[in-house]
Structures are given as structure tokens and as C-alpha cells.
Amino acid sequence: MAASDHLSHMQSGRFVGDPRDIPEKFGTKPVPEGMVRINHYTSTGAIESIRQHGLTRAASEESFARGGTESPQVFATAGHPGSMLHTHNIVEAYADPSHSGQLDIGSGREPQSLEERRSTVTFRGDLPSNQILGIHEPWHEHARYMAHEGVGEEADPKSPYATGSMRSGVARGEYDDLEESHASDYGPAIRSVKITNAATVMLGGKL
């Protein structure tokens, strides 16, 4: 696909592999004082609804009725999701663990204790969308690595085509076979890096 085609595709609406959908790394955005950072894994089909409406009790009840969850409550895990970032869609958010706050299980406990123990928490109702810090998909990790691995180690860090970088390899088409054979993870990541390369060259975008 030509660079102009990538940019046209980028401007026509969001799609799987859109670099604008890649959030900051998990744990990078700060949470308000007294709040606990949580992670919740979800299906690909639920991502857009969660972006708009947050984590809702109604959606959890529907999943429970289908046998997809063990509880009709919204549930999550405190702290970092670990290796699940590479295999699951992870919603990063924060919640109020105080006695009068948002949690049922986990209520009244210190945020640091919940996060260190990676405790399971449940919510008394909905978690609104304005408390969501990011929705992380497995391909995001691949895209970050491809975009930055090798760049700046022995060349100008501002160059998207630093010698030896994966980003320059993507630009040369060295990973095109993975774009189709591993579409669920590597495909979107490769498309994202191609679009970023095209934008950098044609629109003066930043790395």
C-alpha cells in the first residue's frame, strides 16, 4: 500500500491498526490521590461501548446471563495486569476504594495494598468512561516495539529510518508476510507503523 493510501485510510475513519488508538503504556498516566489503579480484560467487540459508556453493570449482567462471568457485578483486578497485556484487551482505569466509594469487594482498603496484592475488586454500580485511562490491545505492544526498537541507538533518534531499526524494516516491506499470517497481533501493528512512517514523511509528523 502506498504512503498516500495509508494516509487516506487513516483520515477516512478508525480501523484496526490505527496508530491514534494506541494509548500510553499501562501505568504511565497518574491516578488521582486516594484512587486505585485497576485493570479489566474484555472482548474486542465490547471496546467501543466501553470507550463511550465505561464499564457498566448492565453489560456485566448480560455476560453473566450468558455464562461468561461468575458474577453479575463489574469486576477487575487492582494493579498491573502483567503478561496479560500481550494476550488480552485490557481496560486501564481507576476507582475509589474508600468506604463510601465505588467498590464492593476491596472497599475500605488502601490503594497501594490492593495494587501490590493484585486484588480482585468488584463495583457497586458502573465505572464511568471518564475514569478510563486507556484500552490496551495486544497489537499495541508490538507496534510500540516496532516503532522504537533500534531507533537512536547508532543513528539520529529523530529519523524513522535509522539503520537497523525495525521501523526502517517495516518501511522496506521486510515484515509484510507477518501482516497477513499473524493478522490478530502483528498485522495491525505493522499497519500502524506504516501509517506513522507515511505521516512522518508526508505530514512532518513526530515519532
Mean per-residue pLDDT for 152-179?
A: 66
Please choose, from the candidates 130, 126, 161, the residue with its C-alpha nearest in 3D space to the C-alpha of residue 147: 161
* Residue 26 belongs to some domain of the structure: no
Q: Are residues 132 and 44 in the same domain?
A: yes
> In this predicted model, which residue has the larger pLDDT, 86 or 117?
117
* Domain interval for residue 71: 40-136
Which of the two residues, 190 and 110, has the higher pLDDT score? 110
pLDDT of residue 178: 80
**In a shared domain, residues 148 and 117:** no
Residues 62, 143, single domain; the answer is: no
Q: Do 144 and 194 reside in the same domain of the chain? A: yes
My answer on whether 98 and 156 are in the same domain is: no
Query: Rounded to two decimals, what is the model's pTM?
Result: 0.78
Instruction: Examine the domain organization and report whether 124 and 70 are in the same domain.
Output: yes
Q: Are residues 60 and 110 in the same domain?
A: yes
Domain boundary, last residue among 136, 168, 184: 136
Do residue 112 and residue 175 come from a single domain? no
Give which of 134, 37, 140 is closest to 87, Cα–Cα. 140
Examine residue 186 and state whether it is found in any structural domain, yes or no.
yes
| Number of folded domains that form the chain | 2
Residue in the block written with cell 486507556 = 134
Q: Let me know whether 103 and 115 are in one domain.
A: yes
Going 48 to 49 to 53 to 59, the CA torsion angle's sign is negative
CA–CA distances in Å: residue 9 to residues 129, 152, 192, 202: 27, 29, 11, 14
Select from 136, 160, 193 the last residue of a domain: 136
Residues 127 and 93 in one domain: yes
Q: What is the pLDDT of residue 197?
A: 77
pLDDT at residue 51 is higher than 90? yes
At 159 the three-state DSSP class reads coil
Q: Which residue has the higher pLDDT, 167 or 189?
A: 189
Residues 55 and 72 in one domain: yes
Would 126 be classed as within a structural domain? Answer: yes
Indicate whether 13 belongs to any domain: no
Task: Indicate if 51 and 122 belong to the same structural domain.
Answer: yes
Tell whether the model's pLDDT for residue 149 goes beyond 80: no
Is 60 within the bounds of a domain? yes
Report the share of the chain in percent with pLDDT over 90.
47
Boundary-marking domain end, from 136, 168, 183: 136
- DSSP element (H, E) containing 101: none
